[in-house]
Amino acid sequence: MEIPDELLYTRDHEWARRKGVHVVVGITDFAQDQLGDVVFVELPAVGDPVKKGESFGVVESTKAVSELFAPVSGKVVEVNDPLADAPETINEDPYEEGWLIVVEPADPGELDGLMDAKAYKTFVEEQD
């Protein structure tokens, strides 16, 4: 299972990547593997507020519907619209093409509370 070193991780299996002043958000390889084939994604609109730890959307697989939780509070500045027609991208490439939203964080310091790759790896192993 892939856990890129440069990303930050939540306990709900989202990842966050700093990109200039913004933060790109997606779900981890472990999350997509547990979900199975993703068939539908519901994402917020550009301009919508998101709040750290609260639901910002929904991902649905053939097994279950799961909520997506924001790793940081702020405003949505970009949404990965092609996922609506190609949700399988999340399974195929969760860390690059399968990104979900880009957030302009209200307080970039919030990212400090997330796990690094090493801590997330340990966390996932405990889950298994």
Residue closer to other proteins by CB (options 46, 65) is 65
Locate 81 and state its tokens.
Answer: 């619209």
**Chain mean position to CA 85:** 18
Contact range with other proteins by CB under 8 A, out of 15-23, 55-63, 97-105, 108-116:
55-63
Amino acid at 58: V
8 Å CB contact between 98 and 89:
yes
Indicate which single residue of 33, 40, 58, 92 sits in contact with other proteins (rule: CB under 8 A). Answer: 40
Residue selected from 39, 106, 111, 117 as contacting other proteins according to rule CB under 8 A:
39
CA dist list (Å): 29 to 14, 51, 75? 9, 23, 25
Is 68:14 a contact under the CB 8 Å cutoff? yes
Q: Residue 88, interface with other proteins (CB under 8 A)?
A: yes
Among 26, 71, 87, 105, which residue interacts with other proteins (rule: CB under 8 A)? 87
In one-letter notation, the amino acid at residue 57 is G
Which residue number, 17 or 28, has a Cβ lying nearer to other proteins? 28
Contact residues for other proteins, defined by CB under 8 A: 34, 37, 39-40, 60, 62-65, 87-88
